[in-house]
């Protein structure tokens, strides 16, 4: 069955960096687009970034553009989110999600999430 | 960016009730409306995609409808396991955007 397992979350100070990883299993990773979605404590869902199945295109939310970078290594079956210059407002649970690859963007499988805390 | 507005923000209902949640988009969507269910401490779960297509394994008491800028999620007969928060999402274009959520609480 499809599983997405995130790792790399933790407590960091403002201005520091963190790299999240996501290890999918149960399907052919290189055939699907992937995204990161986050949820601040007690708040709603916010899309963060997307990457096409082959890594040829990527896009980021304005709130993280220039600070976060989504990437993937299809040879290692791994999705990444490099987060630099972290701010207090970046504190959230970060979910790795799969896009089934239809004409629309949506998410059929979600990881369990990894918590990022930004605090001095 | 396409703004998504959900209403109501809270619903107080009993087992067996029919519950309808509305989602309005700031511009027309091409059937790209999606609904998720989230329970406390858990990741969201896909319920409905392409406005009205039920995800595999989702009970038939859930249904989606609408077009253009107004969409609905209906639970025909609320069950105990349906008390949760529901989010709509547009997938027409990036950035993907979500509604603010509707919490369905027990009356």
The string of pLDDT tens digits covering residues B17-43 is 999 999 999 999 988 999 999 999 999
Mean pLDDT of B52-78: 97
Residues above pLDDT 70, as percent of chain A: 100
Q: How far apart are CA B74 and CA A95, in angstroms?
A: 26
Residue B12: predicted pLDDT: 97
CB contacts < 8 Å between A and B, how many?
64
CB contact under 8 A, B101 and A110: no
Residue B30: predicted pLDDT: 83
Residues above pLDDT 70, as percent of chain B: 100
Residue B31: predicted pLDDT: 84
When pLDDT is cut at 50, 70 and 90, the band that residue B45 belongs to is very high
Contacts of A110 in chain B (CB under 8 A): 43-45
Nearest CB to A47 within list B45, B95, B99: B95
A90, A44, B55, A28: CA torsion to nearest 10:
0
Contacts of A102 in chain B (CB under 8 A): 49-50
- What are the angstrom distances between the C-alpha of A56 and each of A24, B48, B75? 19, 29, 40
Which two three-digit tokens encode residue B101? 């959520």
Contacts of B50 in chain A (CB under 8 A): 102, 104
In A8-88 the beta strands, taken as DSSP E runs, fall at 10-12, 18-25, 33-39, 45-51, 58-60, 68-73, 78-83
Q: How far apart are CA A18 and CA A10, in angstroms?
A: 8
Residue B104: predicted pLDDT: 98
Smallest CA–CA distance from B43 into chain A, residue: A112
Q: How far apart are CA A104 and CA B84, in angstroms?
A: 25
Q: How far apart are CA A111 and CA A38, in angstroms?
A: 11
B5 pLDDT exceeds 90?
Answer: yes
Residue A45: predicted pLDDT: 98
Nearest CB to A44 within list B30, B34, B98: B98
- Tell how far CA A75 is from the center of its chain: 18
On whether the CB atoms of residues B33 and B71 are closer than 8 A, the answer is: yes
Over the stretch A1-20, which tens digit does the pLDDT of each residue have?
999 999 999 999 999 999 99
Nearest CB to A104 within list B32, B36, B55: B32
CB contact under 8 A, B34 and A45: no
Q: How far apart are CA A63 and CA A52, in angstroms?
A: 20
Nearest CB to A106 within list B30, B49, B100: B49
Over the stretch A52-109, which tens digit does the pLDDT of each residue have?
999 999 999 999 999 999 999 999 999 999 999 999 999 999 999 999 988 899 999 9
Residue A97: predicted pLDDT: 98
Contact of B101 with chain A, judged by CB distance below 8 Å, is answered with: yes
SS3 B24: strand
């Amino acid at each position: 069955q499809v599983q997405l397992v995130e790792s790399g979350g933790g407590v960091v100070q403002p201005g520091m960096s963190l790299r999240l990883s996501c290890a999918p299993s149960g399907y052919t990773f290189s055939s699907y687009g992937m995204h990161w979605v986050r949820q601040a404590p007690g708040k709603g869902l916010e899309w963060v970034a997307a990457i096409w199945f082959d890594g040829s295109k990527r896009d980021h939310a304005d709130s993280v553009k220039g600070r976060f970078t989504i990437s993937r290594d299809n040879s290692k079956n791994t999705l990444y989110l490099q987060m630099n210059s972290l701010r207090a407002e970046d504190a959230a649970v970060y979910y790795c999600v799969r896009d089934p690859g239809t004409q629309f963007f949506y998410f059929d499988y979600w990881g369990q999430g990894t918590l990022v805390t930004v605090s001095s | 960016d396409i703004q998504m507005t959900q209403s109501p923000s809270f619903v107080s209902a009993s087992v067996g009730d029919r519950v309808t949640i509305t989602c309005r988009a700031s511009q027309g969507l091409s059937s790209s409306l999606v609904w998720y269910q989230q329970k406390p401490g858990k990741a969201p779960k896909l319920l409905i995609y392409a406005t009205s297509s039920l995800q595999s394994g989702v009970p038939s008491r859930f249904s989606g409808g609408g077009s253009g800028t107004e969409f609905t999620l209906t639970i025909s007969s609320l069950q105990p396991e349906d008390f949760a928060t529901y989010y709509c999402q547009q997938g027409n274009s990036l950035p993907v955007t979500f509604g603010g959520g509707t919490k369905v609480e027990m009356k």
